[in-house]
Amino acid sequence: MTTSTAIFWPIMAQVLLTYAIYVLVSVRRVGAVKAGTAKASDFKVPFVEPEPSASVARNLANQFELPVLFYVACISLFLTGGAGTAAVVVAWAFVLSRAAHAYVHVTSNRVGIRRRLFIVSLLINLAQWVLLAVHIA
């Protein structure tokens, strides 16, 4: 595996995280219906559902917000030949921070911790874009 293609492993890990959240939201929604805390029709409007599945549904939406900038940065680094070791390390740091954010969001949902983890992932993504800018400058 060359260093430049190594950038695709953190991308795949982030995609796997997104799929895992899809599965978890489905499990929680089905569980809520089976437990009688929700009806299937409750899921027509996203914020009517019980908190355990609503927080996972919100996290799922999060997987299509900041991670989009991560994907674009990774692919741009690859396409421009800038996906070296530093870029790959930063990409893995982003994925780890997003996994930690998702874990907190779908378990304790402690907003203070979640916010700090979001800021960490935001700064890591900014570092990706700085690496790209330096590379293409």
Spatial contact of 59 and 106, defined as CB atoms under 8 Å apart: yes
Q: Show the tokens assigned to 50.
A: 């019980």
DSSP result, 86-128: HHHHHHHHHHHHHHHHHHHHHTT--HHHHHHHHHHHHHHHHHH
For 44-103, write each residue's pLDDT tens digit: 766 677 888 889 999 999 999 999 999 999 999 999 999 999 999 999 999 999 999 999
Q: Give the start-to-end residue ranges of the domains of the chain.
A: 3-136
The per-residue pLDDT of the chain, averaged, comes to 93
- With a CB cutoff of 8 Å and minimum separation 6, the contacts of 119 are none
Q: What percent of the chain has pLDDT over 90?
A: 82
* Fold classification of 3-136 (topology level): Four Helix Bundle (Hemerythrin (Met), subunit A) (1.20.120)
Nearest residue to 132 (alpha-carbon basis) of 58, 85, 82, 98: 82
Biggest alpha carbon distance in the chain?
A: 58
